[in-house]
Chains A and B, each alone.
Chain A
Amino acid sequence: MKYFRLVWKNVFRKKTRAFLTMGSIILVMVLIVVLVSLLDALSGESASGSLSGSRVVVQHATGLANFMPLGYRQKIEQIPGVVAVAPEIWFGGTYIDQRPENFFGQLSTDPEVWPLINADVEIPSDQIKTWQLERDAFIAGAQLIDRYHWKLGDRIHVQGSYVQTDLDLVLRGIYKGRDESNIFFHNKYLENTWAGRSGQTGVFFMRVKSPEDVPRVTDTINKMFENSDAPVKAMPEKEFTLQFLEMMGNVKLLVRSIALIVLFTVVLIVANTMAMSARERITEIAVIRALGFRRAQVLGIVLSEALLLSLLAGLAGVAFSYPFTAFLVEGMKRSPVAMFAYNFRVAPQTVLVAMAAAVLIGTLAGFVPAIRSSRVSIVDGLRQVV
């Protein structure tokens, strides 16, 4: 600690250079925090829903484009550990127009079991009862309420696309807490469409007793229908969500690659700054070595300078990343990827990752200049000015 003042003053010896270098680290820190948080959100690691790990989705083995017989529901319900099963169809209609900001999920479901499967969302019980009683009722996530300023009792019209019917629905409930960018309406509403008539459904959305039951139940379901006309693929909810992203390619790999590239770039920038700073101080380093500072102490001081610079910038970067992430979340809530916005937050472990990255930047960037400084020959260093 007694060298801290020396280290601190050396770091800010050239303020413009120090602040520009810190600026580059801050930008990288913000980027790392946002990217890691995004990866978490995509992976559902920060999912706030306490039951997220207990939910399972069953779809046709060949993909979401194919439907499954509704009759599977009774068989699935018989499996030990299954709490409730709801057949759901992705309606995919158009509300107002086809602009992306007017995109949101429209899902038919069974209102009788939906509250059991989604017991971790907040919705008043009287609203649930009304929804269950009225065939044309729907419930909507709070984010959609904010977006469209809907009020209970409002009617909306959704034009069908691949399901050849339109929806005329009345808002009876508002839920909060998990993926607030969807509406849910009665399966009965689709009874007269081809899907309803043929006894088909897009997916089964279900809940099991505990996350430990998930592997067994999914395995049982997959085996149960593997030799049928419509084999299925049962998977945890998280995996189901991620497959949408996989449709866009390996997003995780892309995100990680970007993070690594910017990290490497900033290491080079900081290393260059530290090397310049150390080169300019060869005589000073020779002087303190003459005074009795050992090589290891010089190495420690120069390395500490790089670490201090990186840590200060890392802290600032993490601080800046909170409002930036909040800004992004607001933007995402109004986009087609709104379902990820609710998991998108800066988790404590992400802050640790960012600070570890800051330490890594400081160590890598400071190592070579520190080694070089510690090897400065006293006689040669002093000769530079004499």
Chain B
Amino acid sequence: MSQAQIRIDGVSKVYHRDAIEIPVLNDISFIVESGDFLALMGPSGSGKTTLLNLMAGLDKPTSGRIFVGDREVSAMREAELARWRADHVGFVFQLYNLIPVLTAFENVELPLLLTRLGKKERREHVKTALSIVGLADRMEHYPRQLSGGQEQRVAIARAIVADPAILVADEPTGDLDAKSADEILDLMRRLSGEFRKTIVMVTHDPKAAAVARRMVHLDKGVLTPAGAREMAELRGVQP
């Protein structure tokens, strides 16, 4: 079994707002194989981001279990989970979420501060990551000095700099123009194909979903069987 295989096993998630119970996910089970590129689709409020957060170890399920490789992520304590995320997961957010007071270099360096790498090694890793996303010449630029597409590429560099096996992306093209979105999707495709990252991407955008190899459709917290058919339609082939 690959280290990056993600296994979702009967996962449910219920939020509590005051005395009200809000069920968000209901008995979800599926597997994301190592190196797979999965698109999570569904309408707003269907539970996509919640499922993504659970798979990335940002939140814990109300019931059910989540395994990544041979480790049960859903059973980890908080500090252990933080270490696990630092080692295994890279994050890409819709609004890039770069730290505005840090340069592109410093933003990308952030995850490496949690490692034992020395300053020189960190510098090499950051340069490599920024080269992969095509921004080696913008290292000293602050986020405000970059376009939205460039900011998202810096965010992707930050996500891959520690060489995690898994990338989770929450609407990575949601705030970009078409051209920038295409560049980001190309980059995601390259990370999946060339660098063999396991990618889970939440998206509303059918064009973005078409880049993925597989799609899971969520509706009202449950998986719907439309995934395979929709995928084929998106790629222009008959199911």
Contact = CB atoms under 8 A, between A and B. Distances in A.
A379 B82 contact: no
Interface string A277-292: 0000001100111111
A386 B97 CA distance: 10
A197 interface: no
B113 to A, nearest CB: 5
Contact of A386 (B86, B93, B106, B111): B93
A291 B170 contact: no
B101 A9 contact: yes
A290 B91 contact: yes
Contacts of A292: 82-83, 85-87, 111, 114
A289 B82 contact: yes
B139 interface: no
Contacts of A5: 102, 106
Nearest to A281: B99
A386 B49 contact: yes
Nearest to B54: A379
Interface string B73-108: 000001100110111000101110101111000100
A55 B189 CA distance: 89
A3 B113 CA distance: 7
A66 to B, nearest CB: 71
Contacts of B26: none
Given A6-B102, A291-B114, A284 B82 contact: no
A380 to B, nearest CB: 10
A363 B63 CA distance: 41
Nearest to A382: B93
B156 to A, nearest CB: 13
Interface in A289-305: 289-295
Interface SS of A by simple majority: helix
Nearest to B15: A379
A328 B100 CA distance: 45
A382 B202 CA distance: 15
A10 interface: yes
A341 B34 CA distance: 78
B85 A386 contact: no
Contacts of A293: 82, 86, 114
B85 A290 contact: yes
A85 B131 CA distance: 87
B110 interface: yes
B180 interface: no
A27 interface: no
Interface in B167-209: 170-171
Given A295-B78, A386-B49, A10 B101 contact: yes
A378 B91 CA distance: 13
Nearest to A5: B106
A99 interface: no
B33 interface: no
Contacts of A382: 58, 93, 97
Given A13-B101, A293-B82, A379 B53 contact: yes
B58 A290 contact: yes
Interface string B108-137: 001101100001000000000000000000
B219 interface: no
A290 B49 CA distance: 14
A294 B79 CA distance: 6
Nearest to A10: B101
A18 to B, nearest CB: 12
A385 interface: yes
A294 B93 contact: no
Contacts of B99: 6, 284, 287-288
A26 B121 CA distance: 40
B124 to A, nearest CB: 16
Nearest to A287: B97
Given A292-B86, A293-B114, A386 B170 contact: yes
B205 to A, nearest CB: 15
B59 interface: yes
B142 to A, nearest CB: 10
Contact of A287 (B83, B93, B114, B119): B93
Interface of A: 2-3, 5-6, 9-10, 12-13, 283-284, 287-295, 378-379, 382, 385-386
Given A290-B58, A291-B111, A292-B111, 17 more contacts: A5-B102, A5-B106, A284-B99, A287-B91, A287-B99, A291-B91, A291-B110, A291-B158, A292-B83, A293-B86, A294-B78, A294-B79, A378-B53, A378-B59, A382-B58, A385-B95, A386-B170
Closest 5 CB pairs of A and B: A292-B86, A9-B101, A287-B97, A294-B82, A292-B85
